[in-house]
Structure 1
Amino acid sequence: MRRIEQLSAGLDRVCLALAKAGLIGIALVILLQVGVRYGMRTPFAWTEEMARYLMVWSGLLGATCAFRRGLDPVILTVTSDAAPARRTLARVLLAVTVAIFLLPMLHYSVFGPGWNFERGFLWRGMGRTSPGLGLNMALVGAVIPITCLVILIHCAARVTGPLAAPKGPAE
Protein backbone atom coordinates (compact mmCIF):
# COMPACT_ATOMS: atom_id res chain seq x y z
CA MET A 1 0.00 0.00 0.00
CA ARG A 2 1.32 3.44 -0.90
CA ARG A 3 2.31 5.86 1.87
CA ILE A 4 -0.26 8.50 0.93
CA GLU A 5 -2.98 5.85 0.95
CA GLN A 6 -1.79 4.59 4.34
CA LEU A 7 -1.81 8.13 5.73
CA SER A 8 -5.27 8.75 4.28
CA ALA A 9 -6.61 5.50 5.72
CA GLY A 10 -5.14 6.23 9.16
CA LEU A 11 -6.54 9.75 9.23
CA ASP A 12 -9.91 8.38 8.13
CA ARG A 13 -9.99 5.93 11.05
CA VAL A 14 -9.15 8.71 13.53
CA CYS A 15 -11.66 11.17 12.03
CA LEU A 16 -14.41 8.55 11.92
CA ALA A 17 -13.81 7.56 15.55
CA LEU A 18 -13.83 11.21 16.66
CA ALA A 19 -16.97 11.97 14.63
CA LYS A 20 -18.75 8.99 16.18
CA ALA A 21 -17.61 9.98 19.66
CA GLY A 22 -18.83 13.52 18.99
CA LEU A 23 -22.26 12.30 17.93
CA ILE A 24 -22.53 10.17 21.05
CA GLY A 25 -21.36 13.17 23.08
CA ILE A 26 -24.05 15.36 21.51
CA ALA A 27 -26.75 12.84 22.42
CA LEU A 28 -25.49 12.52 26.00
CA VAL A 29 -25.14 16.27 26.54
CA ILE A 30 -28.61 16.99 25.14
CA LEU A 31 -30.07 14.16 27.25
CA LEU A 32 -28.42 15.68 30.31
CA GLN A 33 -29.71 19.13 29.36
CA VAL A 34 -33.29 17.93 28.96
CA GLY A 35 -33.17 15.86 32.14
CA VAL A 36 -31.81 18.68 34.26
CA ARG A 37 -34.03 21.32 32.69
CA TYR A 38 -37.29 19.42 33.24
CA GLY A 39 -36.28 17.31 36.22
CA MET A 40 -34.59 19.93 38.39
CA ARG A 41 -35.75 23.10 36.61
CA THR A 42 -32.23 24.51 36.75
CA PRO A 43 -30.48 23.88 33.42
CA PHE A 44 -26.72 24.01 33.08
CA ALA A 45 -25.39 26.96 31.10
CA TRP A 46 -22.74 24.94 29.26
CA THR A 47 -24.74 22.04 27.75
CA GLU A 48 -26.11 23.84 24.70
CA GLU A 49 -22.71 25.32 23.90
CA MET A 50 -20.99 21.95 24.29
CA ALA A 51 -23.54 20.28 21.99
CA ARG A 52 -22.99 23.01 19.38
CA TYR A 53 -19.21 22.62 19.40
CA LEU A 54 -19.49 18.83 19.26
CA MET A 55 -21.84 19.20 16.29
CA VAL A 56 -19.34 21.40 14.42
CA TRP A 57 -16.42 19.06 15.08
CA SER A 58 -18.44 15.91 14.32
CA GLY A 59 -19.88 17.36 11.14
CA LEU A 60 -16.58 18.54 9.72
CA LEU A 61 -14.68 15.40 10.68
CA GLY A 62 -17.51 13.34 9.23
CA ALA A 63 -17.22 15.35 6.00
CA THR A 64 -13.61 14.19 5.65
CA CYS A 65 -14.80 10.59 5.93
CA ALA A 66 -17.51 11.17 3.31
CA PHE A 67 -14.94 12.67 0.95
CA ARG A 68 -12.61 9.70 1.38
CA ARG A 69 -15.46 7.36 0.48
CA GLY A 70 -16.27 9.33 -2.66
CA LEU A 71 -19.63 10.56 -1.39
CA ASP A 72 -18.90 14.13 -2.49
CA PRO A 73 -20.52 15.77 -5.53
CA VAL A 74 -19.01 14.38 -8.73
CA ILE A 75 -17.60 16.73 -11.37
CA LEU A 76 -17.02 14.07 -14.01
CA THR A 77 -17.98 10.40 -13.70
CA VAL A 78 -15.45 7.96 -15.08
CA THR A 79 -14.84 4.25 -14.71
CA SER A 80 -11.60 2.31 -14.91
CA ASP A 81 -12.40 1.31 -18.52
CA ALA A 82 -12.78 4.95 -19.66
CA ALA A 83 -10.28 6.49 -22.05
CA PRO A 84 -7.01 7.54 -20.38
CA ALA A 85 -7.61 11.19 -21.30
CA ARG A 86 -11.03 11.13 -19.59
CA ARG A 87 -9.56 9.52 -16.46
CA THR A 88 -6.80 12.12 -16.35
CA LEU A 89 -9.31 14.93 -16.83
CA ALA A 90 -11.43 13.60 -13.96
CA ARG A 91 -8.43 13.49 -11.63
CA VAL A 92 -7.29 16.98 -12.61
CA LEU A 93 -10.80 18.40 -12.16
CA LEU A 94 -11.09 16.78 -8.73
CA ALA A 95 -7.71 18.16 -7.60
CA VAL A 96 -8.37 21.65 -8.97
CA THR A 97 -11.88 21.84 -7.52
CA VAL A 98 -10.75 20.71 -4.08
CA ALA A 99 -7.77 23.09 -4.14
CA ILE A 100 -9.93 26.06 -5.20
CA PHE A 101 -12.34 25.37 -2.36
CA LEU A 102 -9.96 24.42 0.47
CA LEU A 103 -6.72 26.34 -0.02
CA PRO A 104 -8.27 29.79 0.64
CA MET A 105 -9.96 28.42 3.78
CA LEU A 106 -6.68 26.93 4.96
CA HIS A 107 -4.79 30.12 4.16
CA TYR A 108 -7.19 32.43 6.02
CA SER A 109 -7.34 30.05 8.97
CA VAL A 110 -3.67 30.78 9.55
CA PHE A 111 -3.04 34.12 7.85
CA GLY A 112 -5.02 37.30 7.51
CA PRO A 113 -4.76 39.99 4.84
CA GLY A 114 -1.19 40.67 3.78
CA TRP A 115 -0.03 37.27 5.11
CA ASN A 116 -0.34 38.69 8.62
CA PHE A 117 -0.39 35.79 11.07
CA GLU A 118 -1.97 37.91 13.79
CA ARG A 119 -5.00 38.65 11.61
CA GLY A 120 -5.65 34.99 10.84
CA PHE A 121 -8.79 33.21 12.03
CA LEU A 122 -7.05 31.02 14.62
CA TRP A 123 -4.93 33.80 16.08
CA ARG A 124 -7.97 36.06 16.50
CA GLY A 125 -9.80 33.18 18.17
CA MET A 126 -7.01 32.80 20.72
CA GLY A 127 -8.04 36.08 22.30
CA ARG A 128 -11.64 34.97 22.87
CA THR A 129 -13.26 32.46 25.18
CA SER A 130 -16.65 30.82 24.92
CA PRO A 131 -19.20 32.16 27.40
CA GLY A 132 -20.52 28.88 28.82
CA LEU A 133 -17.47 26.64 28.87
CA GLY A 134 -14.65 29.16 28.96
CA LEU A 135 -12.94 27.37 26.05
CA ASN A 136 -10.40 29.18 23.95
CA MET A 137 -12.18 29.79 20.63
CA ALA A 138 -9.05 28.83 18.70
CA LEU A 139 -9.62 25.26 19.97
CA VAL A 140 -13.15 25.33 18.61
CA GLY A 141 -12.09 26.82 15.27
CA ALA A 142 -9.08 24.53 14.85
CA VAL A 143 -11.33 21.97 13.20
CA ILE A 144 -11.46 24.10 10.04
CA PRO A 145 -7.77 23.86 9.07
CA ILE A 146 -7.68 20.26 10.31
CA THR A 147 -10.57 19.41 8.00
CA CYS A 148 -8.91 21.19 5.09
CA LEU A 149 -5.62 19.33 5.58
CA VAL A 150 -7.27 15.93 5.95
CA ILE A 151 -9.39 16.41 2.82
CA LEU A 152 -6.32 17.56 0.87
CA ILE A 153 -4.53 14.36 1.92
CA HIS A 154 -7.56 12.27 0.96
CA CYS A 155 -7.68 14.10 -2.37
CA ALA A 156 -4.00 13.33 -3.03
CA ALA A 157 -4.69 9.66 -2.30
CA ARG A 158 -7.73 9.66 -4.63
CA VAL A 159 -5.92 11.46 -7.43
CA THR A 160 -2.83 9.25 -7.34
CA GLY A 161 -4.61 5.97 -6.61
CA PRO A 162 -6.79 3.66 -8.63
CA LEU A 163 -10.17 4.89 -9.80
CA ALA A 164 -12.96 4.00 -7.40
CA ALA A 165 -16.16 2.45 -8.65
CA PRO A 166 -18.83 5.09 -9.23
CA LYS A 167 -21.27 5.47 -6.36
CA GLY A 168 -24.89 4.90 -7.23
CA PRO A 169 -28.20 4.57 -5.44
CA ALA A 170 -28.54 1.55 -3.18
CA GLU A 171 -30.40 -1.28 -4.85
Structure 2
Amino acid sequence: MALTVLLQIWARYGFDYPFSWTEELARYLMIWAGLLGATCAFKRRLDPTVVQVNPEDRGLWNKVVFALTVLIFLSPILYYSFYGPNMNFERGFLWRSSNRLSQGMGVNMALIGAIVPLSCAVIVLHLAAILTKRKATT
Protein backbone atom coordinates (compact mmCIF):
# COMPACT_ATOMS: atom_id res chain seq x y z
CA MET A 1 0.00 0.00 0.00
CA ALA A 2 2.79 2.39 0.89
CA LEU A 3 4.64 1.56 -2.32
CA THR A 4 1.62 2.35 -4.47
CA VAL A 5 1.19 5.70 -2.72
CA LEU A 6 4.90 6.47 -3.22
CA LEU A 7 4.57 5.51 -6.88
CA GLN A 8 1.60 7.86 -7.18
CA ILE A 9 3.59 10.73 -5.62
CA TRP A 10 6.62 10.02 -7.78
CA ALA A 11 4.56 9.90 -10.97
CA ARG A 12 2.55 13.00 -10.11
CA TYR A 13 5.39 15.29 -9.10
CA GLY A 14 8.33 13.64 -10.87
CA PHE A 15 6.76 13.07 -14.28
CA ASP A 16 3.73 15.36 -13.99
CA TYR A 17 1.69 12.37 -15.17
CA PRO A 18 -0.11 10.58 -12.32
CA PHE A 19 -1.29 7.05 -12.82
CA SER A 20 -5.03 6.56 -12.57
CA TRP A 21 -4.88 3.20 -10.82
CA THR A 22 -2.41 3.69 -7.94
CA GLU A 23 -4.73 5.62 -5.65
CA GLU A 24 -7.49 3.08 -6.19
CA LEU A 25 -5.14 0.15 -5.58
CA ALA A 26 -3.90 1.74 -2.34
CA ARG A 27 -7.50 2.20 -1.18
CA TYR A 28 -8.37 -1.44 -1.87
CA LEU A 29 -5.18 -2.68 -0.20
CA MET A 30 -6.06 -0.57 2.84
CA ILE A 31 -9.48 -2.25 3.05
CA TRP A 32 -7.94 -5.72 2.80
CA ALA A 33 -5.18 -4.90 5.30
CA GLY A 34 -7.64 -3.40 7.77
CA LEU A 35 -10.02 -6.33 7.75
CA LEU A 36 -7.26 -8.95 7.81
CA GLY A 37 -5.69 -6.97 10.67
CA ALA A 38 -8.99 -7.17 12.52
CA THR A 39 -8.86 -10.96 12.32
CA CYS A 40 -5.33 -10.94 13.74
CA ALA A 41 -6.39 -8.57 16.53
CA PHE A 42 -9.32 -10.85 17.39
CA LYS A 43 -7.06 -13.90 17.51
CA ARG A 44 -4.62 -12.17 19.86
CA ARG A 45 -7.52 -10.65 21.87
CA LEU A 46 -6.36 -7.08 21.12
CA ASP A 47 -9.65 -6.00 19.58
CA PRO A 48 -12.01 -3.55 21.26
CA THR A 49 -14.84 -5.45 22.90
CA VAL A 50 -18.38 -4.53 23.86
CA VAL A 51 -18.59 -7.06 26.66
CA GLN A 52 -15.53 -7.39 28.84
CA VAL A 53 -15.54 -11.18 29.05
CA ASN A 54 -12.48 -13.31 28.74
CA PRO A 55 -13.55 -16.85 27.80
CA GLU A 56 -10.25 -18.23 29.06
CA ASP A 57 -10.69 -16.98 32.64
CA ARG A 58 -13.82 -18.64 33.93
CA GLY A 59 -16.44 -21.21 33.17
CA LEU A 60 -19.06 -21.98 30.61
CA TRP A 61 -21.15 -18.82 31.13
CA ASN A 62 -18.31 -16.53 30.02
CA LYS A 63 -17.71 -18.63 26.93
CA VAL A 64 -21.41 -18.50 26.02
CA VAL A 65 -21.63 -14.72 26.48
CA PHE A 66 -18.42 -14.21 24.52
CA ALA A 67 -19.55 -16.46 21.66
CA LEU A 68 -23.00 -14.86 21.51
CA THR A 69 -21.63 -11.32 21.32
CA VAL A 70 -19.30 -12.25 18.47
CA LEU A 71 -21.95 -14.23 16.58
CA ILE A 72 -24.64 -11.57 17.04
CA PHE A 73 -22.27 -9.07 15.44
CA LEU A 74 -21.01 -11.29 12.61
CA SER A 75 -24.18 -13.14 11.61
CA PRO A 76 -25.91 -10.23 9.83
CA ILE A 77 -22.68 -9.34 8.03
CA LEU A 78 -22.26 -12.88 6.75
CA TYR A 79 -25.93 -13.17 5.85
CA TYR A 80 -26.11 -9.94 3.86
CA SER A 81 -22.81 -10.68 2.15
CA PHE A 82 -24.54 -13.52 0.33
CA TYR A 83 -28.27 -12.82 0.57
CA GLY A 84 -30.47 -9.77 0.39
CA PRO A 85 -34.02 -9.33 1.67
CA ASN A 86 -36.20 -12.45 1.47
CA MET A 87 -33.07 -14.61 1.00
CA ASN A 88 -32.65 -13.25 -2.52
CA PHE A 89 -29.13 -14.15 -3.65
CA GLU A 90 -29.16 -11.49 -6.37
CA ARG A 91 -29.63 -8.73 -3.81
CA GLY A 92 -26.70 -9.83 -1.68
CA PHE A 93 -23.61 -7.68 -1.31
CA LEU A 94 -21.27 -9.90 -3.32
CA TRP A 95 -23.70 -10.43 -6.18
CA ARG A 96 -24.38 -6.71 -6.51
CA SER A 97 -20.65 -6.04 -6.33
CA SER A 98 -19.96 -8.59 -9.07
CA ASN A 99 -21.95 -6.45 -11.50
CA ARG A 100 -19.60 -3.49 -11.10
CA LEU A 101 -16.05 -2.77 -12.21
CA SER A 102 -13.66 -0.36 -10.54
CA GLN A 103 -13.08 2.82 -12.51
CA GLY A 104 -9.30 3.01 -12.45
CA MET A 105 -8.26 -0.62 -12.64
CA GLY A 106 -11.25 -2.37 -14.19
CA VAL A 107 -11.29 -5.01 -11.43
CA ASN A 108 -14.53 -6.76 -10.52
CA MET A 109 -15.69 -5.22 -7.26
CA ALA A 110 -16.67 -8.63 -5.89
CA LEU A 111 -12.94 -9.39 -5.61
CA ILE A 112 -12.54 -6.33 -3.42
CA GLY A 113 -15.68 -6.99 -1.39
CA ALA A 114 -14.84 -10.66 -0.86
CA ILE A 115 -12.70 -9.68 2.11
CA VAL A 116 -15.84 -8.87 4.14
CA PRO A 117 -17.24 -12.43 4.39
CA LEU A 118 -13.70 -13.87 4.34
CA SER A 119 -12.64 -11.87 7.40
CA CYS A 120 -15.88 -12.74 9.19
CA ALA A 121 -15.32 -16.43 8.47
CA VAL A 122 -11.76 -16.22 9.80
CA ILE A 123 -13.00 -14.54 12.97
CA VAL A 124 -15.58 -17.32 13.44
CA LEU A 125 -12.77 -19.85 12.97
CA HIS A 126 -10.70 -18.04 15.62
CA LEU A 127 -13.76 -17.99 17.88
CA ALA A 128 -14.08 -21.77 17.57
CA ALA A 129 -10.39 -22.14 18.37
CA ILE A 130 -10.68 -19.90 21.45
CA LEU A 131 -13.74 -21.76 22.72
CA THR A 132 -12.25 -25.23 22.26
CA LYS A 133 -8.82 -24.36 23.62
CA ARG A 134 -7.84 -26.31 26.68
CA LYS A 135 -5.58 -24.98 29.37
CA ALA A 136 -2.24 -26.67 29.61
CA THR A 137 -1.70 -28.68 32.74
CA THR A 138 1.61 -28.32 34.48
TM norm structure 2: 0.91
Is 1:133 the counterpart of 2:123 in the alignment? no
Hey, what's the Cα distance between the residues in 1 that align with 2:41 and 2:48?
A: 10
Paired residue for 1:57, among 14, 26, 32? 32
Is 1:76 the counterpart of 2:49 in the alignment? no
Q: Which residue of the partner structure matches residue 6 of structure 1?
A: none
Hey, what's the Cα distance between the residues in 1 that align with 2:53 and 2:69?
A: 14
Paired residue for 2:72, among 100, 105, 129? 100
Hey, what's the Cα distance between the residues in 1 that align with 2:92 and 2:114?
A: 12
Pick 1 or 2: higher relative contact order, CA cutoff 8 A, min separation 6. Answer: 1
Secondary structure at 1:134 match in 2: coil
Number of aligned residue pairs? 134
Q: Which residue of the partner structure matches residue 123 of structure 2?
A: 151
| 1:162 to partner: Cα distance | 3.3
Is 1:32 the counterpart of 2:4 in the alignment? no
Is the contact made by 2:39 and 2:119 (CA closer than 8 Å) also made in structure 1? yes
CA RMSD of aligned residues (A): 1.6
| 1:159 to partner: Cα distance | 1.2
Note the 1:7-26 alignment, pairs <5 A.
26=1
| 1:73 to partner: Cα distance | 2.9
| 1:78 to partner: Cα distance | 4.9
- State the AA in 1 paired with 2:52: L
Hey, what's the Cα distance between the residues in 1 that align with 2:78 and 2:119?
A: 9
Hey, what's the Cα distance between the residues in 2 that align with 1:99 and 1:139?
A: 24
Secondary structure at 2:59 match in 1: helix
| 1:160 to partner: Cα distance | 1.6
| 1:65 to partner: Cα distance | 0.6
% identical aligned pairs: 55
Is the contact made by 2:24 and 2:104 (CA closer than 8 Å) also made in structure 1? yes
Is the contact made by 1:61 and 1:147 (CA closer than 8 Å) also made in structure 2? yes
**Which of structure 1's runs of 4+ aligned residues deviate more than 4 A?**
77-80
> Which residues of structure 1 form unaligned runs of 5+?
1-25, 164-171
Is the contact made by 2:98 and 2:109 (CA closer than 8 Å) also made in structure 1? yes
Hey, what's the Cα distance between the residues in 2 that align with 1:115 and 1:88?
A: 34
